[in-house]
Amino acid sequence: MNIQHHISLKTLTTFGIEMYADDFIELTDIALLPELSDVAERKIIGGGSNILCTQSPKGLLIANRIKGIELLSEDVDTVLLKVASGEVWHDFVLYAIKRNYNGIENLALIPGTVGASPIQNIGAYGVEVKDTIESVTYWDWQTKKIITLTNAECHFGYRDSIFKNELKDRFFIISVQIRLSKKQKLNTSYGAIEEELKLMGITTPNSKDVAQAVINIRSCKLPNPKEIGNAGSFFKNPTISVQQFLELKKENPKIPSYPVSNKVVKVPAGWLIEQCGWKAYRKNDYGVHAKQALVLVNYGSASGTELWQLSVDIISSVQERFGIVLEREVQVW
Ligand code: EPU
């Protein structure tokens, strides 16, 4: 095994925080998984786009570099693809669009790897990856076996799955089996997409146009991690009871919301954070993005602890003002 030592995480995570891993391996072959099961502690990294490091990772840091996309089966309407976990998510979206395989165009430009996509059930613009996942294959570090879970067995929820709960720290995702449609099934109901398509002068869009609209919106609102360190949405959008929402609406008539059920609504955390005055906040090299308050940023030399403390302060001010406790979406190491 080619284990490297004292490896900087600055370019391995999109927050760009300087931190070192004592032991590090780039994994390109799943044949090494049985041997890696015997190390005392390990952490796995894909695109590093959903991680805030407040301390050096303990144990061996495994970077997932397993590649390959295979067509498993095909019928009149759909294709079933087996996508290796180390593939870059956006490259896979482009691969699908090029072949006219539809269903993930709204998820264009989401950073990270295919293997990370089911863990937090990535989603954007009215689509979640769970809508296309047939099954997920993982290596179980404890039993040292390869296991495949069906979509239902993954217990997908909003930015949630079995991998964040019952299976936490027990798995290494090997591949995700994704079913895409050969027919266009466009989902442009999310307001910003329709507006962007209009700006692009497109009246009868195809999947490629929708992907381009999403790319345009994301590039405009979200900071490019190559320029400003960040991990996308830092918090989840909280869900609250309709009753609590109606109370809040009395004092805040403009509060946006998305219905979840007839008892529960989701409120955009970005709005709550902005109302508390945090949007565009900056101290030293850490702060809150000027165009999207849900994104915390590192302008260069911020530490993980500074960003963590900023998130603590944001959580308390939102709780004080609205009585809502925000949950972090990023993984904190
Ligand atoms: N808003 C504000 N101020 C802000 C940001 C947002 O008032 O600073 C309000 C906007 O007015 C808008 C609402 O919040 O009405 C929603 O904003 P936006 O469309 O930007 O989406 P979001 O709810 O903040 C979620 C996802 C994003 C995803 C977008 C689009 C979560 C935690 N985040 O953000 O996902 O791209 O919707 O579907 O659910 C990610 O997870 O990393 C991510 C970027």
Over the stretch 66-92, which tens digit does the pLDDT of each residue have?
999 999 999 999 999 999 999 999 999
Q: What confidence score (pLDDT) does residue 230 get?
A: 97
Residue 214 CB less than 6 A away from ligand 1: no
Q: How many CA atoms does the CB half-sphere of 156 hold within 13 Å?
A: 20
Best residue among 122, 131, 233 to mutate for probing ligand 1's pocket (most ligand atoms within 8 Å of CB) is 233
- Do residues 111 and 225 lie in contact, with contact meaning Cβ atoms separated by under 8 Å? yes
User: Of 146, 181, 216, which marks where a domain is finished?
Assistant: 181
Q: What confidence score (pLDDT) does residue 122 get?
A: 96
Residue of 165, 168, 133 whose CA lies nearest to 150 = 133
User: Looking at the structure, do residues 84 and 160 belong to the same domain, yes or no?
Assistant: yes
Q: Which residues of the chain have pLDDT under 70?
A: none
Residue 125 CB less than 6 A away from ligand 1: yes
292, 296, 302, 307: CA torsion to nearest 10: 150
Report pTM: 0.91
Structure tokens at 125: 């613009």
In-domain check, residue 224? no
In-domain check, residue 303? yes
Q: What share of the chain is helix, strand, coil (3-state, %, to 5)?
A: 25, 30, 45
User: Looking at the structure, do residues 60 and 74 belong to the same domain, yes or no?
Assistant: no
Residue range of the domain that includes 260: 229-332
Residue 256 CB less than 6 A away from ligand 1: yes
Q: How many CA atoms does the CB half-sphere of 73 hold within 13 Å?
A: 4
pLDDT (tens digit per residue) in 244-299: 999 999 999 999 999 988 999 999 999 999 999 999 999 999 999 999 999 999 99
CATH of the domain at 136: 3.30.465.10
Q: What confidence score (pLDDT) does residue 191 get?
A: 74
User: Looking at the structure, do residues 101 and 159 belong to the same domain, yes or no?
Assistant: yes
Exposure b/e, 38-51, CB count within 10 A at least 16 = b: eeeebbbbbbbbbb
Q: What confidence score (pLDDT) does residue 325 get?
A: 97
Within 204-308, strands assigned E span 229-230, 239-241, 258-259, 264-266, 282-283, 286-288, 296-298
In-domain check, residue 208? no
Q: What confidence score (pLDDT) does residue 58 get?
A: 87
Residue 160 CB less than 6 A away from ligand 1: no
Nearest CA to ligand 1 atom 16: 268
Structure tokens at 78: 């759909």
Q: What confidence score (pLDDT) does residue 185 get?
A: 86
The number of distinct structural domains making up the chain is 3
